[in-house]
Structure 1
Amino acid sequence: MALFAVIGLGSFGATVALELTSLKHDVIGIDTEKKYVERLSDQISHAVIADATDEHVLEELNIKNCDAVVVAIGEDIEASILCVLHLKNLGVDRILVKAKSKSHHMILTHLGITKIIHPEEDMGIRVAQSLSYPMVRRYMALNNERYIVKIEVGQHLNGIEFRQIMDHSDGVKTLLLQRGSHVIYDVALGTLLQEHDILIVEGPVEILRKLATRFAFK
């Protein structure tokens, strides 16, 4: 169990705080708006009405003892930057920040923040991906070039040898195949695919995009 702080309890911040709580972590939720704090007061470890742009307030809350801090302040870029500066002054190592704009992102980069989040942009990408590749049920970026994707086998591929699908997919590694409750970790190229099989594969994003088109529902 870890201790996290989420500063800014709007839609994004509240979602992060609740998800961390569901994962059995302790969460300190901070916001200047009473209504946001009260909304989460019974659902997370600690919900506090406080001004995170005041370094003394953050110090009193022992924020420096947190394993990581998520700055999810929305519209007020100045408040976000002030908060980040105070967190760095207090010696917080892991700071994740929600960025509102490209200029906000650039300033955060100059402040040494390496984990910058664009919730709306990220969601837009996910929606576009789901529309373009409906057979891809879930994906996770390992970095800008490599992804892990979960792909469902459609009826049109029922009985097709796995090798036919993986042809010319150099660099793609098959992590597992799930068939009902049965999981196969070493998938032989001669394996005959069945409708509703689930494949988890990892590789370069460009190769995965080409591979995904072979799984496209007909």
Structure 2
Amino acid sequence: MSQFAVIGLGRFGLAASIELMRLGNSVIGVDSDSKLVNTVSEQLTVAAIADATDESSLKELDIGSCDAVLVAIGESLEASILCVLLLKSLNVKEIWVKATTKPHHIILTKLGVSRIIHPEEEIGVRVAQSLNYPMMNQYMSIGNGLFIVEVEIKSHHPDMSVKKLLGKAGKDIEPMLVRRNSTIIKHLDGDFQLAVKDSLILSGSLTALKKIAPEFYAK
């Protein structure tokens, strides 16, 4: 179990906090809004009413011992930046920050945080991808133009082999595994027979995955 702190419990920060808890981690949630903190107090390991720009408050909560801290302060650029500076002074190694504007992003880059997040933009991209390729449920970039995607088999075809469904583009795509109900099936070959409602996990370049998307959609 890892210990995280989430500073700023708005919709984004709270959603991240609850998911971290669901994944079996310990979460310290911090916000200056007492009403908000009291509302979520039973959902987190610790929910604290505190000023994230006050070093003594962060020290009292032992934020410096956390494995990672997510700064999800959305309304005040100044508060977000000051909080990051304090986390740096507390030697927090892993700092993820929600950025709200381009200047905010630039400043965070200069501060050397671990990751800068643009929730609205990232969700917008994922929604556009889902609209464009509705047969693909999940996307994950693994760097260097490579992606992992999940494709759901929604209808029966005469030949349900992996090789047939991937078509000519299959030579540039690696079938990784199939999720069939609660069972994970690994070590797939081209002759493996898929079933309706199977989830096929594939990896490959974005170009190759784009080529197969219409083929799945047309079947």
Same fold (TM over 0.5): yes
Query: Match of 1:207?
Result: 208
Query: Match of 2:92?
Result: 92
Query: Match of 1:68?
Result: 68
Query: Match of 2:11?
Result: 11
Query: Structure 2: how far apart are the matches of 1:3 and 1:42?
Result: 17
- Residues 100 and 42 of structure 1, relative CA distance in 2, 3 Å threshold: same
Q: Percent of aligned pairs with the same residue? A: 47
Deviation at 1:162? 2.5
Query: Match of 1:135?
Result: 135
Query: Match of 1:105?
Result: 105
Query: Structure 2: how far apart are the matches of 1:187 and 1:125?
Result: 30
The range that moved more, 52-61 or 138-147, is 138-147
- Residues 195 and 42 of structure 1, relative CA distance in 2, 3 Å threshold: closer
Query: Structure 1: how far apart are the matches of 2:181 and 2:3?
Result: 37
- Residues 153 and 39 of structure 1, relative CA distance in 2, 3 Å threshold: same
Deviation at 1:3? 1.0
Using structure 1 for the length normalisation, give the TM-score.
0.91
Which amino acid in the other structure matches residue 114 of structure 2?
Answer: T
Is residue 168 from structure 1 mapped to residue 190 from structure 2 by the alignment? Answer: no
Query: Structure 2: how far apart are the matches of 1:39 and 1:22?
Result: 18
Deviation at 1:72? 0.2
Greater percentage in helix: 2
Matches within 5 A, 1:25-64: 25-64=25-64
Deviation at 1:176? 1.0
Which amino acid in the other structure matches residue 24 of structure 1?
Answer: G
Task: Answer yes or no: is the 8 Å Cα contact 1:158–1:195 preserved in 2.
Answer: no
Root-mean-square deviation over aligned CA pairs: 1.9
Using structure 2 for the length normalisation, give the TM-score.
0.91
Task: Answer yes or no: is the 8 Å Cα contact 1:13–1:72 preserved in 2.
Answer: yes
Query: Structure 2: how far apart are the matches of 1:169 and 1:209?
Result: 12
Equivalent position SS for 1:85: helix
Deviation at 1:169? 3.8
Is residue 184 from structure 1 mapped to residue 172 from structure 2 by the alignment? Answer: no
Task: Answer yes or no: is the 8 Å Cα contact 1:157–1:194 preserved in 2.
Answer: no
Query: Match of 2:116?
Result: 116
Query: Structure 1: how far apart are the matches of 2:47 and 2:158?
Result: 52
**1:140-187, Cα deviation, whole Å (9 max, x unpaired):** 222262211110124264524432324234442111123455543222
Query: Structure 1: how far apart are the matches of 2:67 and 2:83?
Result: 17
**Structure 2: tracts of 5 or more residues without a match:** none
Query: Match of 2:199?
Result: 198
Task: Answer yes or no: is the 8 Å Cα contact 1:135–1:217 preserved in 2.
Answer: no
